[in-house]
Amino acid sequence: MAIHWQTLTRNPDLPSAYLKAAFNRKVTGERLPELGLRCSLSADPRHLAAYRERCGFGEGGMLPATYPHVLAFALQMHLLTDKHFPFPLLGLVHLRNRIQVLRPLGGVAGVRVSVHAQNLQAHEKGVTFDLVTQVDDPLGPLWQEHSTMLCRQARIEGLSQPVQAPAQPAEPALVAVHRWYAAADTGRRYARVSGDYNPIHLSALSARLFGFPTAIAHGMWSLAQTVAALRERLPRSNYQLAVEFHKPVRLPSELILSASAAGLDGQLALHGRDDLLHMSGTWGPVAQ
């Protein structure tokens, strides 16, 4: 699929995207748009400091590996609420996420952020697609993310389901490395630094409107907390971190992160009460 790129002169505003999302509740097509959005963006020091504090990174010289997702969030929202995008934003489920840190993430200023959608696939519960986000500096690609999203309302004839991956080898021993408590207001607090005000994260009342008995934590908050806890184990660059989101984290909740030893390759798991698995994943070198 050839992408037709549209370059924006400034970061789009989020309120207009949320307004469009509120009125777009139907599936309107069966093909992803051949549209990509680009914009030159810079990390705001005050916003970055608030993100670091909220997600457990503390102070540091390197950019958190999950921060470019937040930097690109308004662009992602603008694409997902475009009139040519066939699936409603409200109700999309984040299934998987893969982040590639291609080179060390220093202070990000004047980078080009691009977003497009690809890889439409059938799924037993609907259809999935990948939201691809990339950050480039003058030297080339710096960071990339693939977010696999599920639209449960869509059923498209003729799409084939992806081939199942072969069985994985036995997992190495994972050791508990961090434990934290996700308070009832975690979703609201993360929304203030991420811009993601999806009602399922904000309160029990708003979450019930979408079928959840209580508010659930953002998947990207869980991932950010995990990256912060593992920052001494992860390489500085040329690595990828791939996770799958399983059961949602109901707020409030206590979480336990387990991981393998530091090294070029590793595995992780995030569990909650009664050993409920919320997220699992791996890290390793980016294939050359």
Pairing of strands 253-259, 175-182: antiparallel
Lookup: tokens for 57? 């990174």
Check if the beta carbon of residue 248 is closer than 8 Å to that of residue 270.
no
Establish whether the linkage from the previous residue to 86 is cis, with ω within 30° of 0: no
pLDDT at 72: 97
Cα–chain center distance at 129: 13
Which token pair is 50? 């608030």
Burial code of 232-261, b = ≥16 C-beta within 10 A, e = fewer? eebbebebbbebebeebbbbebebbbbbbe
Distance between CA atoms of residues 145 and 133, nearest Å: 5
Residues forming beta bridges with residue 284, ordered by sequence position: 240
**pLDDT at residue 158 in the model:** 63
Tell me the two tokens of residue 6: 């549209």
Each residue's pLDDT tens digit in the chain (288 positions)?
689 999 999 999 999 999 998 888 788 888 999 999 999 999 999 999 999 999 999 887 789 999 999 999 999 999 999 999 999 998 889 999 999 999 998 877 789 999 999 999 999 989 999 999 999 999 999 999 999 999 988 777 766 556 555 444 445 679 999 999 999 999 999 999 999 999 999 999 999 988 889 999 999 999 999 999 998 899 989 999 999 999 999 999 999 999 998 778 999 999 998 999 999 999 999 975
Beta bridge partners of 121: 128
- Which residue, chain included where needed, has tokens 């019930």? 208
Alpha carbon distance 268, 178 (integer Å): 11
Q: Point out which residues pair with 130 in neighbouring strands.
A: 118, 148
Q: Which domains occur in the chain, in start order?
A: 1-159 (3.10.129.10), 165-288 (3.10.129.10)
In this prediction, residue 14 carries a pLDDT of 93
CA distances from 9 to 16, 41, 60, 204, 215 (A): 17, 10, 30, 38, 36
